[in-house]
Structure 1
Amino acid sequence: MRSRYCAFVFDNAAYLADTVPAENAGNYDAKSITRQKTQWTGLEIVSTEAGGLFDQTGYVEFIARFHEKGRDGAHHEKSRFIRQNGKWLYVDGEFPG
């Protein structure tokens, strides 16, 4: 999660595209995300579930703070990750209630 946040901060579209499963790549346009005029200002990890050494899935709930169009905001998400070939990949996320 932290590495993907850093990729957003530094507009690293290649890394973002490389950290989703191949079957999801068509639904994910990392380049359009990095073209946004968003200034990411902080990441707070709220909680984690699974994602340990022997797990194949994991969840990270986080709040990413940003500044965009003269306003401050926050993106709160619980992300689902899977491990493929030893590498953690972002699958999808939901907005906690």
Structure 2
Amino acid sequence: MDMIERIRELLKLVYDPELGISIVDLGLVYDIQYEADKVYIKMTLTTLGCPMHDMITGGVDFILKDRLDITDVEVDVVWEPKWSPDMISDEGKKTLSYF
């Protein structure tokens, strides 16, 4: 497993607390970059002004620093492209019973 895949798997441990689904399965993670112990995550949230913003981005920062033993994590929250339920993975849809 390469480092990007490993990071993606770790991000599946970060859940949207309101929906109970990982940020990966919700389709919130747009880009993952890794270079020399530095991780960059480009992601969005389900809504602008999401009250769980700090909890979710803090979870991303914590899990990557804790499990990968790195010190430099940048979480870039963007609003384009706008998130929609169409971005939810099949696994996420099963969890939500969203068919």
Higher strand share: 1
TM over 0.5: no
Q: TM-score, normalised by structure 1?
A: 0.31
Q: TM-score, normalised by structure 2?
A: 0.31
Instruction: Report which structure shows greater RCO (CA 8 Å, sep ≥6).
Output: 2
Higher helix share: 2
